């Protein structure tokens, strides 16, 4: 049985490295003008009603800036991406990677419970009545969770992002397990996360068919130590021990558009 999911914001982040030798060599006035243009653009789209954007200063060699965007459609994400590429400052940046996904809420428990209810009522899977009842239930679930599907980007200082997939190896294959086993493991996995409520905010995005990994995990917190604590503890739950595969980790600091000059010019 395939668990239902609900999709919200279309999400895209891009990671850039600054060409520091070229950037440092240009005239201060020219740099100031380009930074001002980029800051004005970030300010313009930061709190748009149709989806927010945010900028982060990254730590380490994997990149210098992360540009995160939530929009309602891929078309709108494409417009934001192309508009940024037209800015003069873009010629001093190299895009090292990006990640495309949709904010996702998994409905394991609802899928199992409602499936059982319809069977108990005598409905046949795939029948017109079954499809109508299922469609109505999904619409109700979407209305109930609309605030989580289209949530704001948490306004917290630190960000940790990593992509992940579920293992599909010869010995352990997440997708070969019965849905009941998967549901129990995901419930236990979620219980670990709930222990950190108030210390970290999490956004899970689904990227199957959109990017190289299956999910993207965004963690936001006022204290970055919680990232290590949370992810370390989750390493020991069954869903992660046997079935978790992780990509590279990225950590950064949330900056306001007006802070961009300080990041790029040290001013």
Best CA proximity match to 46, nearest among 15, 14, 80: 80
Interatomic CA distance for residues 158 and 254, integer angstroms? 6
User: In the predicted model, what is the mean pLDDT of the chain?
Assistant: 93
Beta carbons of 204 and 104 less than 8 angstroms apart: yes
- Tell me the Cα Rg of the chain: 21
Q: Which of 41, 108, 162, 250 is catalytic?
A: 162
Q: What is the mean pLDDT of residues 171-183?
A: 90
Report the pLDDT value the prediction gives residue 211, as an integer from 0 to 100. 97
Looking at residue 267, what is its pLDDT?
61
The model's pTM is 0.92
Tell me the helices (H) and strands (E) count for the chain, helix number first. 10, 9
Helix 128-144 and helix 108-120: axis angle, to 10°?
140
- Domain spans, the chain: 7-103
For 7-103, CATH number? 3.30.70.1030
Kindly report, residue by residue over 52-74, the tens digit of the pLDDT.
Answer: 999 999 999 999 999 999 999 99
pLDDT for the residue numbered 67 = 97
Q: What is the pLDDT of residues 215-261, one digit of tens each?
A: 999 999 999 999 999 999 998 988 898 989 999 999 999 999 999 99
* pLDDT level of residue 2 (50, 70, 90 thresholds): confident
Question: Over the range 118-146, which residues count as b (16 or more CB within 10 Å of their CB) and which as e?
Answer: beeeebeeeeeebeebbeebbeebeeeee
Average confidence (pLDDT) over 158-181: 91
* Mean pLDDT calculated for residue range 83-107: 96
Of the candidates 231, 86, 245, the residue with the CA atom closest to the CA atom of residue 167: 245
* Separation of alpha carbons 255 and 59, rounded Å: 13
pLDDT on residue 222? 97
Active site residue 218: no
């Amino acid at each position: 049985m395939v668990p239902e999911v609900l999709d919200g914001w279309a999400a895209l982040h891009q990671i850039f490295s600054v060409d520091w030798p070229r950037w440092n060599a240009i005239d201060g006035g020219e740099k100031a003008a380009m930074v001002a243009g980029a800051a004005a653009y970030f300010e313009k789209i930061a709190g748009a009603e149709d989806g927010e954007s945010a900028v982060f200063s990254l730590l380490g060699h994997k990149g210098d800036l992360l540009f995160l965007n939530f929009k309602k459609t891929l078309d709108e994400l494409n417009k934001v991406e192309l508009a940024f590429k037209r800015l003069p400052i873009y010629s001093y940046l190299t895009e090292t990677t990006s990640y495309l996904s949709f904010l996702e809420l998994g409905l394991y428990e609802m899928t199992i419970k409602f499936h059982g209810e319809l069977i108990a009522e005598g409905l046949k899977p795939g029948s017109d009545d079954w499809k109508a009842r299922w469609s109505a239930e999904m619409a109700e679930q979407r209305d109930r969770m609309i605030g989580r599907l289209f949530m704001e980007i948490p306004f917290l200082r630190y960000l940790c992002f990593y992509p992940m997939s579920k293992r599909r190896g010869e010995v352990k294959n997440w997708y070969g397990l019965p849905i009941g086993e998967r549901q129990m493991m995901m419930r236990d996995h979620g219980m670990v996360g709930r222990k950190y409520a108030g210390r970290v905010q999490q956004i899970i995005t689904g990227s199957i068919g959109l990017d190289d990994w299956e999910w993207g995990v965004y963690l936001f917190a006022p204290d970055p130590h919680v990232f290590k604590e949370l992810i370390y503890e989750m390493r020991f739950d069954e869903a992660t021990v046997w079935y978790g595969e992780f990509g590279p980790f990225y950590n950064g600091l949330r900056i306001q558009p007006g802070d961009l000059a300080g990041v790029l010019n040290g001013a």
